[in-house]
Chains A and B, each alone.
Chain A
Amino acid sequence: MNSVKIGSIIYIGSTEITVTIKQIKKNGLQMVEKASHSIAIGKEAFETGKISADKVDRIVEIVSNFKQLSLEYGAERIALFASTAIRESDNKYYIRDRLYQETGIVLEIISDSELKNIIFMSNLKVLKDADYLKNNAIITFIGSGNLGIAFYEDMSINFLQNIMIGTIKLYEIAKNADKYSDKMNIMVKEQLYTYFNFLPTFLPKSNIKDFIVTGRTLDTLKALCNAEDKGEISFISKPGLESFYNEIVALNADSIAIKYNLNREFANELVIATIVIENLLEMTEAETIAVPNIFFFDIIFYEMMLPKQYEEIRTLFYSYAIESSRKLAQMYKSYGKHIEFVEEMASAILKKLSKNNRFKEKEVIYLKIAVILHNIGKYINPDKHYLHSSYILQKTDIIGLSEQDRKLISLIVKYQSYLLPTEKDEEYAQLSAVEKISVSKLSAVLRLADALDKNYSQKFKNINIKQQKGLLIVEVESKTNTYIEQIKFNEYCDFFKEVFGIEVKLVIKRGI
């Protein structure tokens, strides 16, 4: 797809719909127009599981207006996203269809983890451009429906946790205390504790000097705490936040709304966000709170308009995903020479196969992560560990990976040995045809690579992989007994042939 010079992103959030129009200027992006329209759909979707007809009409009208506004600025591409509220609604596909019928724009309903990745990537771009990420840091996203916390350590994001509790949900929990404003912060704190108490286990070992926060309430919070604007990043001082925090915990939401000229719902969100920030700030030694001046979907603009810069960030992001996976493997005591060997084997096989198979960059990453994490299940039980590995993978947030990414990797891991992909497997059956092929091919490679080090002794040296017509030859040298590897390799050849349509043969050179 050709890159565009003016792009527009419309986002349907839980409490408002926004449009952001940007253009390329001086090798960067420049805001052309930004507008938002309040529409509270989150609460309704969370409570009733549906968005009412009236609200759907309004959504369509607002999106049509924003499309018109985008065209007024000559937007060459308009992307439309929705996340939590629409996704949680039973009528989401009807809404998507109506939007398409009436605006011609396809709505992309993204998962929380995809949204989080988008936001983290957008953040990362700004933080890198500002040359800010130098210290260990907590990076947090505070949304209406969820909370994302990442730990940045040794120049990489090693931990990410998405908590399905955002400012709206926290408010719902704490609202009974609204009449007793001083107790509201206590209720929120206690609620947060149930989620936050495990965090210290994963915190960076050395001191956390920086605290980076994004979220839709942050623009207002910045203004109310007199943040210092330094271009790409604004900084709220610790005393500034504390003074604002002390001020609002003594007020109820109505008083806050009146005092700061905010609508009541937003005032609630702001209060909750401030309490969350105050709690997380306590875990750090940061003297300021850094607020990157980003639009959450900036990275999509880069993808649309400056693909080279997007690629750089994506590559960096994938490297975080790999690093994060290694940390995870270490945590489950399953990282070592075996993993490194299998990684090398898998990579070499995939490279050779790439001549006749078009693997996407993402698939290369999938395989790499599948290799790194294929044994983590052994931490729970070596018996049927592939099932445990698969399960852990599905349930663990990894920076850079969406829920669907993790699902695909978990299946690759699941089919590492005993099990094979089959339509009888519900998880596999639910995949699209493209995804099924991808999972099958990558698991076939993982199986072969894993077979080459079946007893964890790295018996093979000088590996050379050749491809002849209809045949893949894995040529290795070894001076020891390699029966188990040969047996397993041969066992996995059939599936490999079935998937790739070529034979595979292991040739072992002896006598070294």
Chain B
Amino acid sequence: MDHNQDQKYINRELSWLMFNDRVLEEAYDKDSKVFTRLKFLAITASNLDEFFMVRVAGLKQQMAAKYRKKDISGKTPEEQLNAIYSETQLMMKKIYSCLNKSLMPKMEESGIRFKRYNELDERQIVYARDFFDEFCFPALTPLAIDAGRPFPLLQTKGINIGIMLRSADEEELYAVVKVPTVLPRFVEIRSEESTTEYIFLEEVILNNLEKLFIGYEIMEKSIFRITRDADLEIDGDDVEDLLLQIEKNIKKRKWGAAVRLEIQSKGDKKIRKFIKKKLEVKDEETYEINGPLDPTCWFEFIENKKFAHLLDMLPNPQDSIDFFGEEDLFEAIKERDRLLHHPYESFYKVLDFVERAVEDPKVLAIKQTLYRVSNNSPIISKLIRAAENGKQVTVVVELKARFEEEKNILWARKLEQAGCHVVYGLPGLKIHSKALLIVRREEDGIHRYVHLSTGNYNDTTATLYEDIGLFTCREDICIDISNMFNMITGYTKALHYKKIFVAPGNLRTGFEYYIDREIRNVRAGGEGHIIAKLNSLIDQDIIDKLYEASQEGVKIELIIRGMCGLRSQVKGLSENITVRSIVGTFLEHSRIYYFYNGGDDDLFLSSADWMERNLDRRIEILFPVEEHLLKERLLDFLDILLADTEKTRIQLEDGTYKDLDRRGKEPVNAQVLMHQKATEAIKKAKKDMMGL
């Protein structure tokens, strides 16, 4: 049966919006506490900000360049944008509907109330005015707009107030006031009731504007927020200039073209028209917001310790079962491969491993890739100390990690100052692989130890995102990783790898080989089975290969958290493919690829998704898990994910997602169960150790 493009593939942007919708569903989850729900609301909004800054901006650039090439689903950039606008308008409405109708009342039930200015009592008005005079006024700079003073450059994602004024001689004038980011967004106002009452900062400013424009009458005012194009273009191939060029582009990013205007729906019409005209924003790019702008502000609010009880406690990461009772980590790894599953197991063991390497006189060198690290990252300080201890430290810093560039430049310089050999990635290729290599001189010679991971070396996100790390000293894998570092650091050309697959290079062909092998096995009369857990599946060649495999009778179970360009369960195309999505608390981030191979199975972990960018434009690795015990452990994990009934959404033939039909099924929440298993495993190990 022939299928047209639209029947075969789902547009990546629309698929991404469906994913963000699934994140938003977590904000609707009544089983979660209100602050947890607020957190997911903020994540949804933050995701959407990035989507506009990068994806929508990219499509707009394509349109401006009159680029009309259709995507895999057969849509032109214009058609994609139109679909995005209508979907995002709906999404914004859903976000505020959730906030206003569900979360705000829920907070009120918990003693937190947000007031509009006109709802303040007299005493509160006095407080708000004093607050304005004392804190806001000194921080505000009204920016007038007239023939001599153009519309000011407003920073992306900042909140502003547009004002139309009339002078004493009846002259109309416009001005903008930026809402200062140095002040708290949530202004607590004293209340005589037991509730804690807040007013948003912009409300206080909005209602005291006359103090800024003495001699003028304020005719209209409106709160607005703009999102700008933030897609960094790195030109040329000169690595030496990479750092400087990125620094320059970060500055430019703040002033990219506006791609979205959010404006409070109660704003006045004339001023709105004026802002839209000045920012060159079309109607469809304008979002009327029924509530406080920028829901990412809730990230800050839920940090308030006073209301800690309103946030679901994240389960405590457990000690690693694989390293249980092992004092000497190097010896333990030498004995067999070890695995860490975050956040069920603590990231501490990775830090401990680095720490031991830093202090171990036998360790000669440490090499590490760093993509996103936490603020005050302990990894950075350990690497600095390693260099100070005389170790050869090589750090491959990916400066192009989106929205982390400034931070990365800062600590990269710190590492350099400490004497680390810092390599700023490769032009045109983001270094996305996560690898740590330790060279140790032991009694019988040089030994190498590696830690390879699906997630970043970030101690903060390791408590929030699900990821898997593997420790090994298998010589062929270690040599491969050495070669990869040599290639990244420019020491050598790309080489042939024995065990791992590296993109760009053999990663794509590697995946194709393993899928083809399943096809061959089925054709030979055997069974074919693929399980892949990943974040996104967009690459057309891989999708086509999976369709081919499905049509040949290979059973394919995909667990894809985010975008999926493949349509599952379509007759004659993908009947043997199921697509599940689990977001849950821990944003399933690890990538696992399993190929049955007639029982002689192969299981891989990777930093790469099935996306063109991962397979062709990034340095990524796919590495095998060969230790039988660890393979069993990961297969068990995949079984649990496939058995999940609580957080799983299943993709339908039309590409939309729905809850799993739970009838007749034992309720299983995979993430809760994984945590239970990690806890029980440690408990049991402790008991066993004590002989109980």
Q: Residues of A at under 8 Å CB distance from B?
A: 5-6, 19, 23-25, 30, 32-33, 35-38, 62, 65-66, 68-69, 71-74
In angstroms, Cα B367 to Cα A323, docked, is 52
Whether A73 and B445, one on each chain, are in contact in the complex, defined by CB atoms closer than 8 angstroms, is no
- Given A71-B392, A72-B392, A72-B439, A37:B444 Cβ within 8 A: no
In angstroms, Cα B487 to Cα A35, docked, is 9
- Given A6-B441, A68-B392, A74:B446 Cβ within 8 A: yes
Of all chain A residues, which has the CB nearest B487? A35
Whether A72 and B491, one on each chain, are in contact in the complex, defined by CB atoms closer than 8 angstroms, is no
In angstroms, Cα B442 to Cα A6, docked, is 12
Interface string of B447-490 (1 = CB under 8 A from A): 00000000000000000000000000000000000110010011
Tell me if B493 is interfacial: C-beta within 8 Å of chain A. Answer: yes
Whether B491 and A66, one on each chain, are in contact in the complex, defined by CB atoms closer than 8 angstroms, is yes
Tell me if B364 is interfacial: C-beta within 8 Å of chain A. Answer: yes
Whether A36 and B445, one on each chain, are in contact in the complex, defined by CB atoms closer than 8 angstroms, is no
Whether A72 and B445, one on each chain, are in contact in the complex, defined by CB atoms closer than 8 angstroms, is no
- Given A72-B439, A74-B446, A37:B491 Cβ within 8 A: yes
Residues of A with C-beta under 8 A to B491: 19, 35, 37, 62, 65-66, 68-69
- Given A6-B441, A72-B364, A36:B492 Cβ within 8 A: yes
The minimal Cβ–Cβ distance linking A374 to chain B, given in whole angstroms, is 49
Whether B441 and A74, one on each chain, are in contact in the complex, defined by CB atoms closer than 8 angstroms, is yes
Residues of A with C-beta under 8 A to B367: 72
In angstroms, Cα B489 to Cα A35, docked, is 12
Whether A74 and B364, one on each chain, are in contact in the complex, defined by CB atoms closer than 8 angstroms, is yes
A33, A38, A65, A73: the one contacting B493 at CB < 8 Å is: A38
The minimal Cβ–Cβ distance linking A34 to chain B, given in whole angstroms, is 9
In angstroms, Cα B110 to Cα A505, docked, is 119
The minimal Cβ–Cβ distance linking B333 to chain A, given in whole angstroms, is 18
Tell me if B365 is interfacial: C-beta within 8 Å of chain A. Answer: yes
Whether B445 and A69, one on each chain, are in contact in the complex, defined by CB atoms closer than 8 angstroms, is no
Residues of B with C-beta under 8 A to A5: 445
Tell me if B421 is interfacial: C-beta within 8 Å of chain A. Answer: yes
- Given A68-B392, A71-B392, A35:B439 Cβ within 8 A: no
Of all chain A residues, which has the CB nearest B393? A72
Tell me if B394 is interfacial: C-beta within 8 Å of chain A. Answer: yes
Residues of B with C-beta under 8 A to A62: 491
In angstroms, Cα B444 to Cα A35, docked, is 23
* Interface residues in B574-610 (C-beta closer than 8 Å to A): none
Whether A69 and B486, one on each chain, are in contact in the complex, defined by CB atoms closer than 8 angstroms, is yes
B392, B444, B490: the one contacting A65 at CB < 8 Å is: B490
Residues of B with C-beta under 8 A to A72: 364-365, 367, 392, 394, 439
Residues of B with C-beta under 8 A to A71: 364-365, 392
Residues of B with C-beta under 8 A to A65: 489-491
Whether A25 and B445, one on each chain, are in contact in the complex, defined by CB atoms closer than 8 angstroms, is yes
- Secondary structure of the A side of the interface? strand
- Interface centre among A24, A35, A36, by most B CB within 10 Å? A35
Going nearest first, the 7 A-B pairs with the smallest beta carbon separation are: A72-B365, A35-B492, A72-B392, A74-B364, A23-B445, A35-B486, A65-B491
In angstroms, Cα B442 to Cα A74, docked, is 11
Whether B445 and A24, one on each chain, are in contact in the complex, defined by CB atoms closer than 8 angstroms, is yes
Whether A73 and B492, one on each chain, are in contact in the complex, defined by CB atoms closer than 8 angstroms, is no
Residues of B with C-beta under 8 A to A30: 445
Residues of B with C-beta under 8 A to A38: 493
Residues of B with C-beta under 8 A to A23: 445-446
Given A65-B490, A73-B439: 17 more A-B contacts, CB < 8 Å: A6-B441, A6-B445, A23-B446, A24-B445, A25-B444, A25-B445, A30-B445, A32-B446, A35-B483, A38-B493, A65-B489, A68-B392, A72-B364, A72-B365, A72-B367, A72-B392, A72-B439
Of all chain B residues, which has the CB nearest A5? B445
In angstroms, Cα B250 to Cα A488, docked, is 90
Residues of B with C-beta under 8 A to A68: 392, 421, 491
Residues of B with C-beta under 8 A to A37: 491-493
Residues of B with C-beta under 8 A to A66: 491
* Interface residues in B489-535 (C-beta closer than 8 Å to A): 489-493
The minimal Cβ–Cβ distance linking A65 to chain B, given in whole angstroms, is 5
Of all chain B residues, which has the CB nearest A33? B482
In the complex, 12 of the A-B residue pairs with CB atoms within 8 angstroms, ordered by the A residue number, are A5-B445, A19-B491, A25-B444, A25-B445, A33-B482, A36-B493, A37-B493, A71-B364, A72-B364, A72-B365, A73-B364, A73-B439
Residues of B with C-beta under 8 A to A19: 491
The minimal Cβ–Cβ distance linking A223 to chain B, given in whole angstroms, is 9
In angstroms, Cα B444 to Cα A30, docked, is 11
In angstroms, Cα B442 to Cα A30, docked, is 14
Of all chain A residues, which has the CB nearest B491? A65
Residues of B with C-beta under 8 A to A36: 492-493
* Interface residues in B338-395 (C-beta closer than 8 Å to A): 364-365, 367, 392, 394
The minimal Cβ–Cβ distance linking B444 to chain A, given in whole angstroms, is 7
Of all chain A residues, which has the CB nearest B391? A72
Of all chain B residues, which has the CB nearest A69? B491
In angstroms, Cα B369 to Cα A246, docked, is 46
Of all chain B residues, which has the CB nearest A21? B446
Residues of B with C-beta under 8 A to A24: 445
Of all chain B residues, which has the CB nearest A23? B445
* Interface residues in B621-658 (C-beta closer than 8 Å to A): none
The minimal Cβ–Cβ distance linking B122 to chain A, given in whole angstroms, is 71
The minimal Cβ–Cβ distance linking B626 to chain A, given in whole angstroms, is 22
The minimal Cβ–Cβ distance linking A412 to chain B, given in whole angstroms, is 44
The minimal Cβ–Cβ distance linking A78 to chain B, given in whole angstroms, is 14
- Given A66-B491, A68-B392, A68-B421, A73:B486 Cβ within 8 A: no
In angstroms, Cα B492 to Cα A73, docked, is 16
* Interface residues in B424-454 (C-beta closer than 8 Å to A): 439, 441, 444-446
Residues of A with C-beta under 8 A to B394: 72
In angstroms, Cα B641 to Cα A425, docked, is 88
In angstroms, Cα B486 to Cα A72, docked, is 12
Of all chain B residues, which has the CB nearest A35? B492
Of all chain A residues, which has the CB nearest B421? A68
Whether B365 and A73, one on each chain, are in contact in the complex, defined by CB atoms closer than 8 angstroms, is yes
Residues of A with C-beta under 8 A to B446: 6, 23, 32, 73-74
The minimal Cβ–Cβ distance linking A248 to chain B, given in whole angstroms, is 20
The minimal Cβ–Cβ distance linking A288 to chain B, given in whole angstroms, is 24
In angstroms, Cα B392 to Cα A73, docked, is 9
The minimal Cβ–Cβ distance linking A63 to chain B, given in whole angstroms, is 11
The minimal Cβ–Cβ distance linking A35 to chain B, given in whole angstroms, is 4
Of all chain A residues, which has the CB nearest B364? A74
In angstroms, Cα B487 to Cα A36, docked, is 10
Residues of A with C-beta under 8 A to B364: 71-74
In angstroms, Cα B483 to Cα A340, docked, is 56
Residues of A with C-beta under 8 A to B441: 6, 74
In angstroms, Cα B482 to Cα A32, docked, is 10
Of all chain A residues, which has the CB nearest B493? A38
The minimal Cβ–Cβ distance linking B394 to chain A, given in whole angstroms, is 7
Of all chain B residues, which has the CB nearest A66? B491
In angstroms, Cα B152 to Cα A82, docked, is 62
* Interface residues in B380-417 (C-beta closer than 8 Å to A): 392, 394
In angstroms, Cα B444 to Cα A6, docked, is 11
The minimal Cβ–Cβ distance linking A260 to chain B, given in whole angstroms, is 12
Residues of A with C-beta under 8 A to B439: 72-74
The minimal Cβ–Cβ distance linking B418 to chain A, given in whole angstroms, is 16
In angstroms, Cα B491 to Cα A33, docked, is 12
* Interface residues in B172-219 (C-beta closer than 8 Å to A): none
- Interface centre among B364, B446, B483, by most A CB within 10 Å? B446
In angstroms, Cα B479 to Cα A30, docked, is 13
- Interface centre among A25, A32, A37, A72, by most B CB within 10 Å? A72
Residues of A with C-beta under 8 A to B492: 35-37
In angstroms, Cα B64 to Cα A413, docked, is 84
The minimal Cβ–Cβ distance linking A301 to chain B, given in whole angstroms, is 14
Residues of A with C-beta under 8 A to B421: 68
Residues of A with C-beta under 8 A to B445: 5-6, 23-25, 30, 32
The minimal Cβ–Cβ distance linking A306 to chain B, given in whole angstroms, is 14
In angstroms, Cα B445 to Cα A24, docked, is 7
Of all chain B residues, which has the CB nearest A38? B493
